[in-house]
């Protein structure tokens, strides 16, 4: 077993990368990918902290939930992106500005 800190550092790195992708990338699909990355970083954390109390399965169960929620969210998000693309012929959120001003 390698120490927990390594896992935590990896998770933090993944989370930061995901956040950076969300902020920097223009395309909606890339933003959704960033979100997935951040969810996986949190999953990594849940699994790592579960190792401190192995007799309980809370962390692993929660990770499963998060994976399920992430799948649903990705499905809904992609659906919205598809609809938006059909209507506006673009998937860049900044160009969709009908409600502004």
Partner 1 sequence: MQSNISYSLFFEICLLLATTLPLMSFLFSLAIAEKYSWAVSITAPFLLLISALSSLVVFFSVLDEQPYQFAMAWMVVADQTFSAGVFVNVLAATMLLVVTVISFLVHLYSIGYMAGDAGFRKYFAMLGLFTFSMIAIVLANNLLIVFVGWELVGFSSYMLIGHWKEKPEAARAAKKAFVLNRIGDAGFLVGLMILWTHQGSFDISTLDAINGFSEWQTAASLCIFCGVTGKSAQFPLLTWLPDAMEGPTPVSALIHAATMVAAGVYLMIRIFPFFTPTALDVVSIVGIITSLIGALAALGQYDIKKILAYSTISQLGLMVTAIGSATPDAAFIHLFTHAFFKACLFLAAGSIIHSLHHAQHQFHTHFDVQDIRNLGGLRKKLPVVFAVFLLAGSSLAGLPFFSGFLSKDAILTGLVTWAGPDTSWKWLVVMGAFAVTFLTMVYTFRMIWIIFFGSEKKTSGVDLPESPVVMQVPLLILATASLWIIISWNPFINTRWINPALVHSWNVTILSVIWVLVALAVAYRTRNRASQLKIFLHAFYLDHLIEWNIKNVAMKFVGMASRIDKKLIDPFLHGTAYAQVLVAHVTGWFDRALVDGTVNGFTSFVRGVGSVTRSFQDGKIQLYIFWSIFTIIIFLIWTLL
- Position 94 contacts partner 1 (CB under 8 A): yes
| Residue closer to partner 1 (CB basis): 27 or 72 | 27
Q: Which of 80, 68, 66 is nearest to 32 (CA)?
A: 80
Single residue of 3, 23, 52, 89 touching partner 1 by CB under 8 A? 23
Single residue of 19, 47, 66, 74 touching partner 1 by CB under 8 A? 19
Q: Which of 22, 35, 15 is nearest to 93 (CA)?
A: 22
| Residue closer to partner 1 (CB basis): 86 or 100 | 100
Pairwise CA distance, residues 22 & 88, whole Å: 21
**Helix spans in 1-101 (H):** 4-24, 28-50, 58-88
Binding site for partner 1 (CB under 8 A): 19, 22-24, 31, 93-94, 97, 100
């Amino acid at each position: 077993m390698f120490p927990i800190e390594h896992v935590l550092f990896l998770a933090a790195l993944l989370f930061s990368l995901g956040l950076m992708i969300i902020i920097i990338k223009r395309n909606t699909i890339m933003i959704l990918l960033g979100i997935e990355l951040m969810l996986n970083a949190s999953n990594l954390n849940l699994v790592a902290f579960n190792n401190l109390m192995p007799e309980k399965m809370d962390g692993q169960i929660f990770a499963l939930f998060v994976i399920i929620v992430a799948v649903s969210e990705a499905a809904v998000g992609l659906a919205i992106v598809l609809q938006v693309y059909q209507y506006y012929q673009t998937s860049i959120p900044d160009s969709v500005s009908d409600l502004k001003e």
